[in-house]
Amino acid sequence: MIMKYKRLLVWFRNDLRLHDHAALFSAVEKAEEVIPVYCFDPRQFDSLSIGQKKTAGFRAQFLLESVLNLQDNLKSLGSNLIISSGLPENVIPILAKKYKVDAVYFTEEVTSEEKSVEAALEHSLYKDRIGTEAFWQSTLFHIDDLPFPVSQTPEVFTQFRKECEKLSKVRKTYPQPKKINTPDLSNDLHFKLPSWMQVEKVTDDRAAIKFEGGESAGMHRLKTYFWERDQLKIYKETRNGLLGEDYSSKFSAWLSLGCLSPRYIYEEVKLYEKERKKNQSTYWLIFELIWRDYFRFIAKKHGNNVFKLSGIKNYVDNWVRNEKLFQKWAEGNTGIPFIDANMRELNATGFMSNRGRQNVASFLVNDLNIDWRWGAEYFESLLIDYDVCSNWGNWMYVAGVGNDPRENRYFNILKQANNYDRKGAYIRHWIPELAEIPGFDIHQPFDLSTKELKEFGVSLGSTYPHPMVKLPKSFL
């Protein structure tokens, strides 16, 4: 094979893996030597408008683990990873010049902050006559295979999905390189965690899953969930669950940092369908991955509007910005057990089920009428699986400023609690001070008499808050 380049630098971002990695695969094919680099960006740890850090401790820990795992996996192929910190648009050109690389390869992102880093990097490298190549690789359907230009992405999910399913194909995954030639990097392998990056490991035993960052742990989770525990064939029935490791795949955190590739998951689903079982559940996991694609392409189509109050619908409700009410929601002290349990789970573990996310988001925007972007920012800070497009897209959707053709996205909290936690096990798990209340009554302590409350060891306003709002009970 004729090598085109002497040396290429691969800048890793939200693509922390070796399997199905277009940029890495291409670099290994085209160059005699490859220099893998990761750079922690301080802007990812700045404060958000609500005062929280953009990346709180749990996700920072998951990110660190993912980067270190990538380094280990690269080492096993004879390579290594330079781990650095600072602005990538400054750090990468310095390394590119130092190691005299011909070009820098990276995965392109879609939203403005990430795009401006790419632009600044390209500009800086261009001045030094170093080329760049951006690769698309975070979605199931490749952008070039969409049956429409991104600017014409259907506004409604069902239409998007149907057109993709009918007219596009999921590309095959790239094989993992067997060996990577890398020059001596020892002068640049002395990474020290920057002071602005505070990491924190989840220690709460009540966590649905103990997330561990990195491609190896992501692969292991897939193997466990699909193959060892054989859960995929019942995914559609269990996916709205609230408790435990296996009601849903829990792939999101690994997907968000690119430790798992959606196309790899797709291939494993196809294999499972061939070797074990093919049913609605196996399809449904792919269906959910298409939602993920949809939010990414919608974000690319609509640019910064996805972060605006009026969203992409250009609709403005009269939202309030009441810090006191917001704080109660954020801390899980609303006095509505189903909301509080979910928020306490998020605060203690960096994770919340999809059912929980929809309910707490609806409660914030519909019952409290608070600016939905505050909720989106809170999730951005705390979620281990934070993904800019999925998070802001879903929030827009719940807030009614997205593309939902169904007008009313109001979630009747008690009805939801009745459907998904009838016996109150989820509340008992997260709000021990209510644990003595039997059955469904645990969801509505505010309806119990003083005598009953006393019997169950609850004192409203003291051991558990009074409800912030009166919830509709129309379903009962």
- Note whether 384 binds ligand FAD by CB under 6 A: no
Helical segments of 191-238, H only: 215-222, 235-238
Closest CB to ligand FAD among 288 and 433?
288
144 annotated binding-site participant:
no
41 annotated binding-site participant:
no
Provide, rounded to whole angstroms, the least separation between the CB of residue 308 and ligand FAD: 17
- Asked whether the beta carbons of 93 and 121 are under 8 A apart, the reply is yes
336 annotated binding-site participant:
no
Longest Cα–Cα distance in the chain: 84
Q: Which of 398, 427, 437, 453 is close enough to bind ligand FAD by CB under 6 A?
A: 398
20 annotated binding-site participant:
no
Q: Which of 385, 411, 443, 456 is close enough to bind ligand FAD by CB under 6 A?
A: 385
Residue 286, token pair as written in the block = 């792919």
Q: Which of 70, 255, 306, 434 is close enough to bind ligand FAD by CB under 6 A?
A: 255
Neighbours of 274 (CB within 10 A): 9
Candidate segments 27-35, 38-46, 387-395, 463-471, binder of ligand FAD by CB under 6 A: 387-395
CA distance 86 to 43: 9
Q: Which of 66, 80, 107, 248 is close enough to bind ligand FAD by CB under 6 A?
A: 248
C-alpha angle 308-147-265 in degrees, rounded to nearest 5? 80
Burial of 224 (0-12, 13-18, 19+ CB in 10 A): middle
294 annotated binding-site participant:
yes
Residue 314 CB contacts under 8 Å (≥ 6 apart), including other chains: 305, 401
- Note whether 410 binds ligand FAD by CB under 6 A: no
x/- track of binding to ligand FAD for residues 56-95 (CB under 6 A): ----------------------------------------
C-alpha angle 246-249-254 in degrees, rounded to nearest 5? 130
- Asked whether the beta carbons of 14 and 257 are under 8 A apart, the reply is yes
- Note whether 7 binds ligand FAD by CB under 6 A: no
420 annotated binding-site participant:
no
Q: Which of 71, 107, 153, 391 is close enough to bind ligand FAD by CB under 6 A?
A: 391
Name the residue among 458, 474, 457 with its Cα closest to residue 466. 458
> Where is 401: in which H helix or E strand?
none
Q: Phi and psi for 291 in degrees, rounded to 5?
A: -60, -40
Distances (CA, A) of 249 to 18, 46, 183, 318, 440: 21, 31, 39, 37, 27
11 annotated binding-site participant:
no
- Note whether 345 binds ligand FAD by CB under 6 A: no
Provide, rounded to whole angstroms, the least separation between the CB of residue 458 and ligand FAD: 30
Distances (CA, A) of 408 to 79, 356, 365, 376, 405: 53, 18, 12, 19, 9
CA distance 118 to 390: 21
Provide, rounded to whole angstroms, the least separation between the CB of residue 178 and ligand FAD: 29
Interacting positions 111-130 with ligand FAD (CB under 6 A): none
Interacting positions 352-381 with ligand FAD (CB under 6 A): 353-354, 357-358, 361, 379
Residue 377, token pair as written in the block = 């920012």
- Note whether 14 binds ligand FAD by CB under 6 A: no
- Note whether 394 binds ligand FAD by CB under 6 A: yes
Candidate segments 14-22, 60-68, 80-88, 384-392, binder of ligand FAD by CB under 6 A: 384-392
Q: What is the DSSP string of 356-378?
A: HHHHHHHIIIIIS-B-HHHHHHH
Name the residue among 11, 15, 1, 26 with its Cα closest to residue 175. 26
Interacting positions 266-305 with ligand FAD (CB under 6 A): 285, 288-289, 291-292, 295
Residue 295 CB contacts under 8 Å (≥ 6 apart), including other chains: 389, 390, 392, 393, 394
Residues in the chain: 476
- Note whether 256 binds ligand FAD by CB under 6 A: yes
- Note whether 250 binds ligand FAD by CB under 6 A: yes
Provide, rounded to whole angstroms, the least separation between the CB of residue 382 and ligand FAD: 10
62 annotated binding-site participant:
no
Closest CB to ligand FAD among 34 and 222?
222
Q: What is the DSSP string of 227-271?
A: IIS--GGGHHHHTT--SSSSSS---HHHHHTTSS-HHHHHHHHHH
- Asked whether the beta carbons of 342 and 352 are under 8 A apart, the reply is yes
Provide, rounded to whole angstroms, the least separation between the CB of residue 118 and ligand FAD: 21
- Note whether 387 binds ligand FAD by CB under 6 A: yes
Output the known binding site: 235, 248-252, 288-295, 385-387
Q: Applying CB under 6 A, which residues contact ligand FAD?
A: 239, 248-252, 255-256, 285, 288-289, 291-292, 295, 353-354, 357-358, 361, 379, 383, 385-387, 390-391, 394-395, 398
Output the known binding site for FAD: 235, 248-252, 288-295, 385-387
